[in-house]
């Protein structure tokens, strides 16, 4: 059981050296051509060190399919006394592939602001993603975006925030502190 828990979101070993075969044959049967495929390994920072997981990206007709599996999210807390609730968690692409922790009270500032290549307001940034809902600490989600291709996001980062994204406050949806970060790399069978 311990082994399973640690490997949430990770492909089985026998598939690790052939991501295209894995993608076609197992959980993504709609994928018909060898795709550009990327992954961000997500790790929690000092505010939520238990966060752990993966975000996968692969090119599909019409855009990119994103699939994520995250564990170790903090429990939901309602927003009392004008404080933001903890969860569901803002989830975005950020500009820079630098997940240095920096200030432990405001971690992951080196990842920069939201990746926004076409200069849109927040809520319509290319890297604005749906929020992550914690299910006893675990979130899994898959969605389609037509805002980029895998090749456009290599070397950017994925950030998970403490608070929900309101999709309209500028510049970042009032999503609060940065709990976890991962750099997007071309998939090579991690």
Site size for Cu ion, by CB under 5 A? Answer: 2
Instruction: Check binding of 125 to Cu ion (CB under 5 A).
Output: no
- The alpha-carbon radius of gyration of the chain (Å, integer) is 16
Instruction: Check binding of 39 to Cu ion (CB under 5 A).
Output: no
Burial class (CB in 10 A: 0-12, 13-18, 19+), 139: buried
**Helix residue ranges, H only, 14-133:** 19-25
Q: Which pair of tokens denotes residue 139?
A: 């979130």
Instruction: Check binding of 180 to Cu ion (CB under 5 A).
Output: no
Of residues 49 through 108, those in contact with Cu ion by CB under 5 A are 92
Quote the CA–CA distance of 175 and 107 in Å, as a whole number: 14
CB of 32 to Cu ion, least distance (A): 33
Could you tell me which stretch among 34-42, 77-85, 141-149, 152-160 binds Cu ion (CB under 5 A)?
Answer: 152-160
Instruction: Check binding of 159 to Cu ion (CB under 5 A).
Output: yes
Torsion of CA 95, 99, 105, 109, to 10 degrees: -20
The residues near 99 (Cβ < 8 Å, ≥ 6 apart) are 43, 108, 110, 111, 157, 181, 182, 183
Q: Which helix (H) or strand (E) holds 151?
A: helix 150-153
Looking at the Cβ atoms of 113 and 137, the one nearer to Cu ion is 113
CB of 35 to Cu ion, least distance (A): 26
For residue 109, give the nearest of 120, 119, 101 by alpha carbon. Answer: 101
Instruction: Check binding of 122 to Cu ion (CB under 5 A).
Output: no
Looking at the Cβ atoms of 39 and 158, the one nearer to Cu ion is 158
Looking at the Cβ atoms of 58 and 129, the one nearer to Cu ion is 129
The residue number whose beta carbon is nearest to Cu ion equals 92
Looking at the Cβ atoms of 79 and 171, the one nearer to Cu ion is 171
CB of 113 to Cu ion, least distance (A): 8
Looking at the Cβ atoms of 59 and 165, the one nearer to Cu ion is 165
Q: Are 89 and 134 in contact (CB under 8 A)?
A: yes
CB of 12 to Cu ion, least distance (A): 31
The site for Cu ion (CB under 5 A) is made up of 92, 159
């Amino acid at each position: 059981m311990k082994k399973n828990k640690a490997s949430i979101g990770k492909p089985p070993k026998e598939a690790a050296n052939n991501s295209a075969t894995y993608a076609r044959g197992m959980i993504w049967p709609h994928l018909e051509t060898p795709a550009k495929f990327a992954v961000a390994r997500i790790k929690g920072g000092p505010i939520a060190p238990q966060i752990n997981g993966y975000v996968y990206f692969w090119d599909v007709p019409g855009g990119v399919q994103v699939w994520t599996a995250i564990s170790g999210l903090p429990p939901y807390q309602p927003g009392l006394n004008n404080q933001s609730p903890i969860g569901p968690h803002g989830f975005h692409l950020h500009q820079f592939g630098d997940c240095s922790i920096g200030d432990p009270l405001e971690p992951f500032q080196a990842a920069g602001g939201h990746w926004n290549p076409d200069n849109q307001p927040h809520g319509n940034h290319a890297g604005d993603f749906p929020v992550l809902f914690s299910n006893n600490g675990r979130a899994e989600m898959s969605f389609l975006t037509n805002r980029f291709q895998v090749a456009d996001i290599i070397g950017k980062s994925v950030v998970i925030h403490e608070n929900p994204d309101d999709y309209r406050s500028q510049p970042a949806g009032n999503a609060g502190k940065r709990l976890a970060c991962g750099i997007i790399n071309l998939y090579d069978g991690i």
